[in-house]
């Protein structure tokens, strides 16, 4: 397309510098700065750097953007924090309940720190067992572990609860068992054995008749006041206690019949499996045949009567029968025949009276 004459004239007179100056629309601050520039042709004047800096420094700054920067990971961070808060809350609640069961609430702050550090429940349980508070609360644990008999805290607490129940049920002094749980556990006294010990202690020291208490003192040198403590002493093995108690029961039945039976004889009968009821019947028979141990002529002894009647000694029984037959011959000559209601004979005669 051809240019008009007017367009050609404008192009011929076009001055880029003048056009730039003409189009410059300064601000008030810039105008004030320009007034300090030396007079001259703006298009051709040369200005110093300091003069230019002065103008630009005094010029008003464009307002800063009010739109905040957006963190592309903000959602992930919030989600992770919420998950961590839930983990700490749940783990703390679980461990708090566990500390309550252990009666170790004093370790709460310690456990919370473990949770915050990221330890799981299993690791925290291990760490708890290393604290002085734990070792004071469960003093038998270390000894049991060294013996290869480690038990759980739940089993330990259950043992304590059974001990407390036995104290109450049998009227034992408060703390007699609870204060001795460590010794009982480390000496391998099971809950079942502990129950048996308490029953024996109650029978021997609380409910026992005088004959039983006296016999125990005569046999083992323990008076009635110390019987309970003796039976509950963890350093005394349960089998020994059972043997002594059963032997004392046998000996006390002999005392009831006015017979003198030493501890060796009683323990021998116990080892043969003689029960208290069998001892009662047997000693009643022996006492009824005591006439065979006295007088002139053929006699037997109390020990032989016990051996034949209670121990099942055949030779002893044969000798008893012989003595009884001999006394029966004397009866025919005027003696007195004695027979117990159990059918065993004991003879008395004019010669024995």
pLDDT in tens, 114-140: 999 999 889 999 999 999 999 999 999
Residue 293 confidence (pLDDT): 86
Q: What is the dihedral of CA 321, 324, 325, 331, to 10 degrees?
A: -170
| Same-domain check for residues 118 and 149 | no
- CA 243 to each of CA 189, 247, 264, 267, 303: distance values in angstroms, whole numbers, following the listed order: 16, 6, 12, 7, 21
Whether residue 20 is contained in a domain is answered as no
Question: What is the percent of the chain with per-residue pLDDT over 70, rounded to a whole number?
Answer: 74
Segment 145-156 mean pLDDT = 92
Residues 309 and 261 in one domain: no
Statement to judge: residues 243 and 305 lie in one domain = no
pLDDT band at residue 38 under the 50/70/90 scheme: low
Are residues 149 and 223 located together in one domain of the fold? Answer: yes
pLDDT band of residue 334 (cuts 50, 70, 90) is very low
Residues 103 and 152 in one domain: no
Alpha carbon distance 19, 295 (integer Å): 165
Q: What is the dihedral of CA 31, 35, 40, 44, to 10 degrees?
A: -40
pLDDT-derived band at 220 (thresholds 50, 70, 90) equals very high
Whether 82 is covered by a domain: the verdict is yes
- Show the tokens assigned to 142: 């270390």
The distance in angstroms from the start CA to the end CA of the chain is: 175
68 within domain boundaries: no
Same domain, 147 and 270: yes
Radius of gyration of the chain (CA): 54
User: 268 and 146: one domain?
Assistant: yes
* CA–CA dist 336, 351 (Å, integer): 10
Let me know whether 269 and 305 are in one domain: no
Beta-bridge partners for 336: 348
31 in any annotated domain: no
User: Do 216 and 163 belong together in one domain?
Assistant: yes
Q: Residue 9 domain-assigned?
A: no
* Domain span including residue 193: 141-274
pLDDT digits (tens, 9 = 90+) for 182-208: 999 999 999 999 999 998 888 877 777
- Domain boundary (119, 137, 155) is at 137
Mean residue pLDDT across the chain? 80
Mean pLDDT of 83-98: 90
Note whether residue 133 is domain-resident.
yes
* pLDDT at residue number 132: 95
pLDDT of 348 reads 34
Please say if the pLDDT value at position 1 is more than 80: no
Answer yes or no: is 166 within a domain.
yes
Highest mean pLDDT of the ranges 47-56, 74-83, 99-108, 231-240 = 99-108
- In this structure, the answer to whether residues 129 and 180 fall within a common structural domain is no
Are 300 and 184 in the same domain? Answer: no
Asked which of 274, 304, 336 is the last residue of a domain, the reply is: 274
Q: Classify residue 255: in a domain, yes or no.
A: yes
Distance, CA of 8 to CA of 134 (rounded, Å): 104
Average pLDDT over residues 318-343: 64
Please identify, among 210, 243, 274, the residue that sits at the C-terminal boundary of a domain: 274
Cβ atoms of residues 60 and 27 within 8 Å: yes
DSSP 46-106: ---HHHHHHHHHHSPPPPPP-SPPP-TTHHHHHHHHHHHHHHHHHHHHHHHHHHHHHT-GG
Residue 201 and residue 245: Cα distance in Å, rounded? 9
Kindly report the CA angle at 165 between 161 and 171, in degrees rounded to 5? Answer: 145
Torsional class of 222: left (φ above 0), alpha (ψ -120 to 50), beta (otherwise) = beta
> In terms of domains, do 249 and 223 share one?
yes
Percent of the chain with pLDDT over 90: 41
* Vertex 297 angle, CA 291 and 301, to 5°: 45
Number of domains in the chain: 3
Whole-number pLDDT of residue 47:
53
């Amino acid at each position: 397309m051809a240019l008009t004459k007017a367009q050609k004239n404008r192009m011929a007179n076009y001055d880029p510098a003048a056009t730039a100056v003409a189009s410059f629309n300064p601000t008030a601050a810039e105008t004030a700065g320009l007034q300090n520039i030396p007079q001259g042709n703006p298009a051709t004047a040369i200005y110093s750097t300091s003069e230019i800096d002065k103008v630009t420094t005094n010029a008003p700054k464009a307002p800063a953007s009010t739109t905040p920067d957006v963190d592309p990971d903000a959602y992930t961070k919030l989600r992770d924090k919420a998950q961590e808060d839930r983990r700490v809350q749940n783990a703390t609640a679980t461990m708090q309940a566990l500390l309550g069961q252990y009666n170790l609430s004093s370790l709460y702050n310690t456990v919370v720190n473990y949770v915050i550090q990221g330890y799981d429940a299993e690791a925290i349980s291990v760490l708890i067992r290393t604290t002085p508070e734990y070792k004071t609360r469960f003093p038998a644990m270390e000894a049991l572990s060294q013996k290869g008999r480690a038990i759980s805290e739940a089993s330990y607490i259950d043992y304590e609860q059974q001990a407390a129940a036995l104290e109450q049920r049998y009227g034992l002094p408060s703390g007699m068992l609870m204060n001795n749980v460590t010794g009982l556990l480390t000496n391998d006294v099971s809950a079942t054995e502990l129950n048996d010990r308490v029953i024996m202690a109650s029978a021997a020291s609380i409910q026992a008749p005088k004959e039983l208490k006296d016999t125990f003192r005569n046999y083992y040198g323990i008076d009635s006041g110390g019987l309970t403590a003796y039976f509950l002493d963890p350093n005394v093995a349960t089998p020994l206690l059972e043997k002594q108690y059963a032997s004392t029961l046998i000996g006390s039945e002999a005392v009831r019949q006015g017979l003198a039976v030493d501890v060796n004889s009683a323990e021998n009968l116990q080892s043969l499996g003689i029960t208290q009821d069998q001892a009662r019947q047997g000693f009643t028979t022996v006492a009824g045949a005591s006439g065979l141990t006295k007088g002139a002529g053929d006699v037997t002894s109390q020990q032989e009567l016990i051996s034949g009647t209670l121990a099942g000694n055949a030779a002893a029984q044969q000798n008893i029968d012989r003595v009884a037959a001999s006394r029966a011959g004397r009866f025919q000559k005027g003696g007195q025949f004695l027979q117990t209601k159990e059918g065993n004979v004991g003879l008395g005669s004019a010669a024995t009276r």
